[in-house]
Structure 1
Amino acid sequence: MLVDFSVQNFTSFNQMQEFSMVASTSTKERVELDNTYEINQFGIKEILKSAAIFGANGSGKSNVVMAIGALKSLLVRSLDTNSDETTSNIIPFLLKKDFFDFPSEFEVSFLAEGNLYRYGISIENDSIDEEWLYWTKSSRETLLFHRKKQTLEFNNRSFSEAKIFTRKEGDEIVIEKTKTSVPFVSVLAKFDGEKSNIVFNWFKKVNTISGLREFGFRDFTTNLFEKDESFRAWALDILKSFQIDSINIVEFDKEFPINKKNKSIKNEELLDVVSKLEGFLEKNKIKEKRIEVVKKGGNGEMYSIPLSMESEGTQKLIYLLGPIYDVMANDKILIIDEFDNKFHTLLCKFIIDLYNKKSFGSSQIILTCHDTNLLTKELFRRDQIWFVEKNERHESELYSLVEYKEHYARKGNSYSKDYLQGKYGAIPLFKDISELGEKLNG
């Protein structure tokens, strides 16, 4: 379960910015929502189930998602390649003379296996400058290891897994068999280090997807409909509200636009290659699967039609059900960038409300949104609402609605009016369509 995340000197974030999923205890607001998990450990009373990040186009909302994804990639993929690709993908804030006046840094705190962990890493010029891991077993935080370049300090009793990858060199302990671009925790996890594996496996449960393009999770959902009866029953119960009675998975031969009779190809050798490729594809058909929705016609008959004939919003909803179910069933964390793209406000509210009411394990969902109609007490507590805004130096700044104490007593169910009036910052470039028209017409 994510507790908090911080980032500095990465893409549009220069100074350290922190995002927290810890439920606020500083407000007297009573929210009759099932939006938190009770913890009562480690000084944490409750953790939020979900959160939404709002901001103008280009403010840096997607960079929050990129930052979490970059940290996961650094840990999970660093041993998949012999190059320094993972650290070279860490892009610093570029609108300054010295890109590494301070390192790019990421830190995350999370709950796993009944303990609280805090893991962080800082990177400078494609090399790991520092890396650290702490844990809290009861009430006091304890060091597991702290790496400075290729030297290490570690806890002999609680983190003995580090011993086989270190050697004594004078007064220092030096890391062995670990490149300067590879996280130490990833190496230890590869060799079945107990606590390193806990960290590694937690990151594997963090998934980021884009709400702009469904192809990233389309096949995942299609396979769930075909192979997981529990998911199928869960999803069909939801889809009844959308007049969809069932789902069929249809297999077909994938077609390729190759025509060996194409007279525009003059080169005989190229024609021969095209002909052979066509023959190979004819003998080795590539199968694809697609979803068809089943609906009841006016005559009472059931009709199956390709999902592609439905609206883009319906398509996205159906494909999104797979990741949402997976995160709930397996206690994962799902981060959806551009969540409200293609969705009507009521559909957005339906999905958010569905998740908050049906999630009972330790899963979490984090969304980035534009739709100000979602800024309502019916969906979110104030501590679930976050904003991103760029300052005069073009640096993205991340902050919570909880910080605006002067608006705590606002009457009504919506924060959107105050938001559009600029009281929280992070407003869209144009407050309404009339203002946009004025700009376009001069």
Structure 2
Amino acid sequence: MFTYVKLKNYKSLVDFEVDLTDSKNNPKKMVIIYGENGAGKTNFINAFFTLFETLNTKVYKRIIDKLMGKKADNKNDKRNIKLIINKIIKDNFKSIEDIINDAKTIDSKENIILEFGFKLNGKYGKYYIEMRENGIAREKLEYVLSKNKTRFFDISDKEKYINKSLFNSNKYFKEISDLIDKFWGKHSFLSIIFFEIMDKSKKYINKNMPKDINNIVEYFLSTSLHIKQKSNIEKGRINVARKFIFPMNRGIITKTKKEEKKLNYTENILNYFFTTLYSDVKKVFYNREYKDNKIKYKLFFKKQIYGQIKDIDFSLESAGTQKLLNLFPLLLISLNRDKVSAIDEFDSNIHDILIYNIISSMANFIKGQLIITTHNTTLLETKIKKDYIYLFNIDSNGKKILIPITEYERKNPNTNFRKRYLKGLYGGIPMIDDIDFGDLFNQDDLYVKEK
């Protein structure tokens, strides 16, 4: 789980640091972030996605090479294939240059720095990556080895340090060193490691790859994300437990006992979840079609409508209900040890009472870490620990800060944090004058006449 995040020249977060640990230096199981629009909440969540992207550049490069190698029979086909491939690449597969262009603070000439503190398997670590205009400038990892925090690697233009004691095989250490000489800068060291994990057999990796580095790569890649972008476009990634079917709304699976068991299990879990949240939903089930050793499944609600029970295709449900299904796997993930889910605008399209019920109900069952941004102030009145609540503010120097609400005021039995927050006593809310819409209308009228 993450213990802190430091960012420099990353989008709107020019010089940013947040501590995510409790008084005992353990990572907090829940982090609920408030702040006015444009404060930096989405950019903070996006930093975890950028970390994920830097881990995938070398794997993406191979995918792109395979796509670009696709042959066409004629010029029109070749042009169409090229257009399709370019769109796929632009939307899904970023090079390190693309990542930098997307992440860098506007007009900044300084390097981007991302630093993540984390705790994995009871041990603390730190990962640092610095990116200049066209590649990686420095990358380092520290983690506990034999009870002491140790430099696993520290690579830059001037230095290439890799802890040789991590490797069981001198031959493989030499292979890794050669790969760094060849690819590092355009790809991170962790990206090279991930490519090795994907490219080599499991037996080979288990024999040669340092177990701790393997675990750290898998840990970073297992972070599940849901991010709200402009124009209501959403992006993210979900690591669903193997006992669930995914996607959960519809799909096709092989007709085997194992797959049907997963389908039944997912159906039962969704039935409990949605019938608990919605009084008119009486049952949740999958409509199943069996054909050619395949099962085509589609989610349905059995709902009470004007005194009648009707089967409703889930695709016809509201945007809020569909978003709940999209977020449901991320909530489940955070219930697992060392697993992290980060969700931007968790409350978007979902009723305040549902958000209140879901978050307050799961708070005591989280074994991993759940990080969310929200505008739902009812959560300030739950029994959730108040030091889980964070506020985005801007200090007197214009620096964006993110700190627990308890830094502003310690909890006592008579404190109503929600009322005091809405009054602006802690900041983190829009401070605007009343808008005279009558005056706006008159100005608009004058503008039309002048035009």
TM-score higher than 0.5 here?
A: yes
User: Is 1:105 the counterpart of 2:108 in the alignment?
Assistant: no
Candidates 282, 285, 289, aligned match of 1:245 = 282
Q: Alpha-carbon deviation of 1:438?
A: 4.7
Measured against aligned partners, the alpha-carbon deviations of 1:74-118 in whole angstroms (never above 9, x if no partner) come to 11344312797234322455455xx233x2111112233443221
Answer whether contact 2:302 2:311 (CA < 8 A) is retained. Answer: yes
Structure 2 CA distance for aligned equivalents of residues 234 and 250 of structure 1: 16
User: Is 1:86 the counterpart of 2:96 in the alignment?
Assistant: yes
State, as a whole percentage, how many aligned pairs show the same letter. 22
Answer whether contact 1:52 1:385 (CA < 8 A) is retained. Answer: yes
Whichever residue aligns with residue 246 of structure 1, its letter is K
1:71-150 matches, cutoff 5 A: 71-81=51-61, 85-90=95-100, 91=102, 94=105, 99-101=108-110, 103-137=111-145, 139-149=147-157
Structure 1 CA distance for aligned equivalents of residues 337 and 249 of structure 2: 18
Candidates 400, 406, 415, aligned match of 2:404 = 400
Match of residue 68 from structure 2: none
Structure 2 CA distance for aligned equivalents of residues 130 and 328 of structure 1: 34
Structure 2 CA distance for aligned equivalents of residues 145 and 154 of structure 1: 4
Whichever residue aligns with residue 338 of structure 1, its letter is E
Structure 1 CA distance for aligned equivalents of residues 48 and 19 of structure 2: 13
* Secondary structure class of the residue paired with 2:164: coil
Whichever residue aligns with residue 314 of structure 1, its letter is T
Match of residue 366 from structure 1: 371
Between Structure 1 and Structure 2, how many residues are aligned? 369
Q: Alpha-carbon deviation of 1:309?
A: 4.1
Q: TM-score, normalised by structure 1?
A: 0.73
1:329-408 matches, cutoff 5 A: 332-359=339-366, 362-376=367-381, 378-390=382-394, 395-404=399-408, 407-408=409-410
User: Against the structure 1 CA distance between its residues 422 and 138, is the aligned structure 2 distance closer, same or farther, given a 3 Å change threshold?
Assistant: farther
Q: Alpha-carbon deviation of 1:439?
A: 7.2
Q: Alpha-carbon deviation of 1:199?
A: 1.8
Match of residue 325 from structure 1: 332
Match of residue 222 from structure 1: 249
Q: Alpha-carbon deviation of 1:295?
A: 2.5
Measured against aligned partners, the alpha-carbon deviations of 1:306-354 in whole angstroms (never above 9, x if no partner) come to 2344443333223322332244358531111111111222111111123
Answer whether contact 1:12 1:394 (CA < 8 A) is retained. Answer: no
Q: Which moved more, 1:67-76 or 1:306-315?
A: 306-315
Whichever residue aligns with residue 11 of structure 1, its letter is K
Match of residue 219 from structure 2: 202
- Higher RCO (C-alpha under 8 Å, 6+ residues apart): 1
Match of residue 415 from structure 1: 417
Answer whether contact 2:345 2:372 (CA < 8 A) is retained. Answer: yes
By percentage of residues, which structure has more helix? 2
User: Against the structure 1 CA distance between its residues 246 and 372, is the aligned structure 2 distance closer, same or farther, given a 3 Å change threshold?
Assistant: same
Match of residue 18 from structure 1: 17
Answer whether contact 2:46 2:227 (CA < 8 A) is retained. Answer: no
Q: Alpha-carbon deviation of 1:357?
A: 2.9
Structure 1 CA distance for aligned equivalents of residues 296 and 392 of structure 2: 40
Answer whether contact 1:3 1:21 (CA < 8 A) is retained. Answer: yes
Structure 1 CA distance for aligned equivalents of residues 406 and 165 of structure 2: 41
Structure 1 CA distance for aligned equivalents of residues 350 and 339 of structure 2: 24
User: Against the structure 1 CA distance between its residues 221 and 331, is the aligned structure 2 distance closer, same or farther, given a 3 Å change threshold?
Assistant: farther
Q: Which moved more, 1:224-233 or 1:57-66?
A: 224-233
Whichever residue aligns with residue 248 of structure 2, its letter is T
Answer whether contact 1:87 1:123 (CA < 8 A) is retained. Answer: no
User: Is 1:59 the counterpart of 2:39 in the alignment?
Assistant: yes
Structure 1 CA distance for aligned equivalents of residues 275 and 103 of structure 2: 47
Q: Alpha-carbon deviation of 1:403?
A: 2.4
Whichever residue aligns with residue 324 of structure 1, its letter is L
* Secondary structure class of the residue paired with 1:323: helix
Whichever residue aligns with residue 156 of structure 1, its letter is K
Answer whether contact 1:74 1:87 (CA < 8 A) is retained. Answer: no
User: Against the structure 1 CA distance between its residues 401 and 200, is the aligned structure 2 distance closer, same or farther, given a 3 Å change threshold?
Assistant: same
Gaps of 5+ in 2: 65-93, 197-204, 239-244, 252-258, 290-294, 441-451
User: Is 1:165 the counterpart of 2:176 in the alignment?
Assistant: yes
Measured against aligned partners, the alpha-carbon deviations of 1:115-150 in whole angstroms (never above 9, x if no partner) come to 322111101112111100111246531111111126
Q: Alpha-carbon deviation of 1:366?
A: 0.6
Structure 1 CA distance for aligned equivalents of residues 368 and 351 of structure 2: 25
Whichever residue aligns with residue 23 of structure 1, its letter is D
Q: Alpha-carbon deviation of 1:162?
A: 4.3
User: Against the structure 1 CA distance between its residues 131 and 347, is the aligned structure 2 distance closer, same or farther, given a 3 Å change threshold?
Assistant: same
* Secondary structure class of the residue paired with 1:100: coil
Q: TM-score, normalised by structure 2?
A: 0.71
Structure 1 CA distance for aligned equivalents of residues 419 and 109 of structure 2: 40
Answer whether contact 1:65 1:335 (CA < 8 A) is retained. Answer: yes
Match of residue 202 from structure 2: none
Measured against aligned partners, the alpha-carbon deviations of 1:173-226 in whole angstroms (never above 9, x if no partner) come to x94222412111221343343233212101111111136567977962225998
User: Against the structure 1 CA distance between its residues 166 and 349, is the aligned structure 2 distance closer, same or farther, given a 3 Å change threshold?
Assistant: same
RMSD over equivalenced CA pairs, Å:
3.4
Answer whether contact 2:139 2:188 (CA < 8 A) is retained. Answer: yes
User: Against the structure 1 CA distance between its residues 394 and 409, is the aligned structure 2 distance closer, same or farther, given a 3 Å change threshold?
Assistant: closer
Match of residue 90 from structure 2: none
